[in-house]
A and B are shown apart, each in its own frame.
Chain A
């Protein structure tokens, strides 16, 4: 007979080993196809790596980027997109969810489905449609605004509107999942809480602030993190609608990575941009986790 202490110890060992085995496939795929290429990407960022060159240059790529106007502008646009898109996605999704969550099951499903449509349709076709909507000469948007006596606007060609036009498309493709989640969380708030508040003559604004919003907090964190990462990585919409123009007003770091690597064949510089972007996303995600309370238990 083993002593209870030894048995526990042995049991713990078994448990650990079991856990590692369960993790093995995930870890294997991850290390091979994500972590290793990622480390190699960092490694490449210290090289002048073009189609026919591979030469160590130390921090030159990074130094270049810190003085490159285009890169700085792209970084600014990237942060701007996140700062604008994320709050709007949250606000819009909460608004839609608040409006539909008490509707019949059939209506709720219908609306959830509709708002999820842009996320499932191929991004290539979505952008073809939006390009025709925004078209400066024959676009539907200018056709509509002309009824209000507005002059035609080159929505994607005007530096004042281009970035916002992109953000609007991004938002339409991002709200599907948040709405589904908010509808579900709202459905989980016990009706008695709200009724009690109504008896206390709280107005709807107060009820929202004091009862509903706090109950949504765990959902918020998840949605904010996911939407932030998605917004940071927006790429196809920009490539297909503006190619980063006009005057780099819609260029993002992600687009710059693509342009430097795959159009110009400068893989070293592109890797350095990617590393900097990953650092920025990482820092912002950490801040979000910290300030929004950690529902993600480590």
Chain B
């Protein structure tokens, strides 16, 4: 036995040593301790008393909704929190910046393992999905009557599920197209753009003429963009086809796909042909929304189809080519009023089963949206318009004034439909099929309708 003991002890010590070395290397990570206890075990801190003076710690995950201050990601958010803490010194806010790139994946994992953040600033696409899955805390008690009546019905519709408010709407801007005005100026063809009309509406035919003019007179510039690589930015391709083909994407009550009309199919067929004719960017099946906007920002593209006042503001630092960009609505087949999906940003609270945290998170939302000093400042930092109708004139810019005017074109987007998360996974592959000649426009849209309808009924059945 004694012969065994020595190597045993030595082996044990050795393996402990390795554990120790590994564990030691995690010594100097100061700020994670708080997160670990606040994020992972929400249930245990339940007994935190109801008195508001008790210190509370909440976690806020933020996408880059605010333009980085001095190029530093998260710096602006820290200033908000510092100002917030002057009013509420007992609420500690842990800020964590996530990216559009991997952030959604990270959120999915955190939610499924009960370690979701307390607060998120996002858009209805994901927030409504979470609300339907009963993961969020309702915010109705913090929406004052004043705010309730100051925000349009279309925006509330996107913030609510089953009569309860789950997203506090903050900033908005209609999604539309943008044109490189300088290209048309140089060609001496500014009259081809509807810029002299106050609401800038125009027809499919006028748009085609403009594209042809670019092709004929500016050989270095691609007339228009299109993309179908992934689901990112699909509101652009949706808005483009629904307006060119004057059709709704889903029907009025979101129970079925409505885009598979002959007119919309003709619009899609035209896109495919226009790509062959050099009117639309080549290889769009493999381009992402960001690739197309990058081309636009480099001055290589006359029209981009996924733009907004928010994006225009955010792209200021990225735009190195010298040109003037102007927002335009999507053209329509018959010259009727365009229907624009809104970008809508707002905040939501994950129901981590801790009343104190939910209450604290509500205070932060209220501060960000409604503080007399910071409310407007925050809006301007997003580059967006206020979700509230009464707050206007934030910017001294022609295009912002136009964006405010274009709010009358806002339509209800499909983002709140049951099964939306799945619906959109069928959209871009069908666009790819059409673009690559594997299906006609009608076949592609019909195939999309079939799969998406199935997803809708499945999602409805699961509720």
- C-alpha spacing A263/B422, complex, angstroms: 10
Measured CA separation A202–B287 after assembly (Å): 54
Asked if A245 and B286 make an inter-chain contact with CB atoms under 8 angstroms apart, the answer reads yes
**In this assembly, does A21 line the interface, its C-beta being within 8 Å of a C-beta of chain B?**
yes
In this complex, what residue of B is CB-closest to A151?
B282
| A190 is an interface residue with CB less than 8 A from chain B | no
- Contact indicator per residue, chain B 1-22, by CB within 8 Å of chain A (1) or not (0): 0011001101110110011000
Given A14-B4, A18-B7, A246 contacting B285 (CB threshold 8 A): yes
Are A247 and B8 closer than 8 Å at their CB atoms?
A: no
Q: How many A-B residue pairs have CB under 8 A?
A: 118
Known: A24-B15, A157-B435. 17 other contacts (CB 8 A): A13-B4, A17-B4, A21-B11, A21-B12, A51-B111, A51-B133, A52-B133, A137-B283, A154-B286, A157-B283, A158-B283, A159-B436, A245-B286, A246-B436, A247-B438, A265-B108, A265-B111
Taking CB as reference atom, which chain B residue is nearest A124? B101
Instruction: Verify A263–B135 contact, CB threshold 8 A.
Output: no
Inter-chain contacts of A50 with B (CB < 8 A): 112, 133
Contacts of A263 in B (CB 8 A): 104-105, 108, 425
A263 vs B10: C-alpha distance when bound (angstroms):
48
B260 at the interface (CB under 8 A from A): no
13 sampled A-B residue pairs with Cβ under 8 A: A21-B7, A21-B15, A28-B15, A152-B282, A154-B282, A159-B436, A247-B429, A247-B432, A247-B433, A247-B436, A248-B429, A264-B425, A265-B111
Query: A154–B283 contact, CB under 8 A?
Result: yes
Is A262 engaged at the interface, CB distance under 8 Å to the other chain? Answer: yes
Given known contacts A24-B15, A156-B286, A245-B285, is B229 in contact with A262 (CB within 8 Å)?
no
**Within 8 Å CB of B428, what residues of A?**
245
- Distance in angstroms from A203 CB to nearest chain B CB is 46
**Do A51 and B429 have beta carbons less than 8 Å apart?**
no
Q: Which residues of A contact B436 (CB under 8 A)?
A: 157-159, 246-247
Q: Assess whether B222 is interfacial by the CB under 8 Å rule.
A: yes
B230 contacts chain A at the CB level, 8 A cutoff: yes
A127 contacts chain B at the CB level, 8 A cutoff: no
Q: B219 to nearest A CB, angstroms?
A: 13
| A25-B18, A137-B295, A265-B108 as given contacts; A245 in contact with B283, CB under 8 Å | no
Minimal beta-carbon separation of B88 from chain A (angstroms): 31
Nearest A residue to B133, CB-CB: A52
Q: Is A288 an interface position by the 8 A CB rule?
A: no
Q: Across the interface, name the chain A residue whose C-beta is closest to B130.
A: A51
Indicate whether A162 reaches chain B with its CB closer than 8 angstroms. Answer: yes
Question: Are the CB atoms of A18 and B11 closer together than 8 Å?
Answer: yes
In the complex, the answer to whether A51 meets B281 with C-beta atoms within 8 Å is no
With A245-B429, A247-B429, A263-B105 in contact, do A156 and B8 touch (Cβ < 8 Å)? no
Distance between Cα atoms of A5 and B109 in the complex (Å): 58
- Report how many residues on chain A are interfacial, defined by Cβ distance under 8 Å: 38
CA distance A261 to B111 in the complex (A): 12
Complex Cα gap A243–B134 (Å): 30
Find chain A residues with CB under 8 A from B285 CB: 154, 157-158, 245-247
Give complex CA distance A18, B435 in Å: 65
**For residue A160, which residue of chain B has the nearest CB?**
B436
Q: What residues of B have a CB within 8 angstroms of the CB of A154 in the complex? A: 282-283, 285-286
Cα-based distance from A268 to B197 in the complex (angstroms)? 54
Contact B283 A156 (CB under 8 A): yes
The 3 tightest CB contacts between A and B, nearest first, are A154-B283, A157-B286, A136-B283
Q: Within the complex, which residue of B7, B222, B282, B295 is in contact with A17, where a contact is CB–CB below 8 Å?
A: B7
Task: Indicate if A138 sits at the interface (CB-CB under 8 A).
Answer: yes
Q: Is A267 in the interface zone, CB < 8 Å from B?
A: yes
**Which residues of B sit under 8 angstroms from A261, Cβ to Cβ?**
108
CB distance from A63 to the nearest CB of B (A): 16
B300: min CB distance to chain A, Å: 7
Q: How far is the CA of A138 from the CA of B130 in the complex (A)?
A: 40
Once the chains bind, are A264 and B421 in contact (CB under 8 Å)?
Answer: yes
Contact A157 B287 (CB under 8 A): yes
When C-beta atoms are compared, the residue in chain B nearest to A134 turns out to be B286
A21 touching B287 by the CB < 8 A rule? no
Please measure, in the bound complex, the distance between the C-alpha atom of A25 and the C-alpha atom of B104, giving whole angstroms: 35
Given the complex, which residues of A lie within 8 Å of B105, measured CB to CB? 262-263
Residue A220 at the chain B interface, CB threshold 8 Å: no
Complex: how many Å from CA A242 to CA B230? 8
A245 and B230 within 8 A (CB)? yes
A112 within 8 A of B: no
Residues from chain B with Cβ under 8 Å of A137 in the complex = 222, 281-283, 295, 300
Which of A10, A21, A50, A245 has the largest number of chain B CB atoms within 10 A?
A: A245
Interface mask (B379-397 → A, CB under 8 Å = 1, otherwise 0): 0000000000000000000
* B 235-264 to A, binary, CB cutoff 8 A, 1 in contact else 0: 000000000000000000000000000000
**Interface positions of B from 1 to 52, Cβ below 8 Å from A:** 3-4, 7-8, 10-12, 14-15, 18-19
In the docked arrangement, what's the CA distance between A158 and B379, Å?
A: 42
Write out the residue numbers on chain B whose beta carbons fall within 8 Å of the beta carbon of A138: 295, 300
Q: Given A21-B7, A52-B135, A264-B425: A246 and B286 within 8 A (CB)?
A: yes
* Contact across chains for A162 and B286 when beta carbons are under 8 A apart: yes
B22 CB → nearest A CB, Å: 9
User: Which residue on chain A has the smallest CB distance to residue B462?
Assistant: A53
Known contacts A52-B133, A247-B436; is A24 also within 8 Å of B11 by CB?
Answer: yes
| A262 contacts B109, C-beta separation under 8 Å | yes
CA distance A14 to B133 in the complex (A): 58
Smallest CB separation, A76 vs chain B (Å) = 16
Across the interface, name the chain A residue whose C-beta is closest to B232: A243
Contacts of A22 in B (CB 8 A): 11
B292 to chain A, nearest CB (A): 10
B284 within 8 A of A: yes
- Contacting pair B282 A136 (CB below 8 A): yes
Q: How many angstroms from the CA of A162 to the CA of B11 in the assembled complex? A: 53
- List residues of chain B with CB within 8 A of the CB of A243: 229-230, 288
